[in-house]
Amino acid sequence: MRPYKVVILVNVALAVGFLAGYLWQQSELERFRREGALASPPGAAAGTGRGATARGIVRDVRRATRDVLITHEPLTGIMGAMTMAFPAADPALLEGLAVGDRVRFTLETRQGRLVLTELRPDGS
Ligand SMILES: [Cu+2]
């Protein structure tokens, strides 16, 4: 192999490495940003003092894995509106819950992940 080809290959490898590192760092930053926002949520999540509260619609209740798929409104400073699964801190939260229910829920970060700590019918 000619020396200039080695130089090009090394440069390409470095570029790929930097790109991968950059992307990884961005995803970590995003995670820290979300958790930081939860630690001191803007608007101080009505009464609870910690965690963030939002409204959503239940799309699936997965009792086997103890999580709920929810289409939720934007959580200011944490994430935009989307459909995603949230693990429930307590399986009792899933009792009586059905697909299509409109709910108000509270999220907290526990052991580095977002979990549902409160879930009740919206409007109550
Ligand atoms: Cu989300």
CB neighbours (10 Å) of residue 82? Answer: 12
pLDDT by residue, tens only, the chain of 124 residues: 788 888 888 888 888 787 777 777 767 667 766 766 665 544 434 434 478 999 999 999 999 999 999 999 999 888 999 999 999 999 999 999 999 999 999 999 998 899 999 999 997 5
Please tell me the distance between residue 45's alpha carbon and the centre of ligand 1 in angstroms. 16
Please tell me the distance from the alpha carbon of residue 30 to that of residue 32, in angstroms, as a whole number.
Answer: 6
Please tell me the distance between residue 5's alpha carbon and the centre of ligand 1 in angstroms. 46
**Residue-range domain boundaries for the chain:** 1-124
CATH fold of the domain at 1-124: OB fold (Dihydrolipoamide Acetyltransferase, E2P) (2.40.50)
Per the CB < 8 A criterion, the answer to whether 107 and 88 are in contact is no
Please tell me the distance between residue 73's alpha carbon and the centre of ligand 1 in angstroms. 8
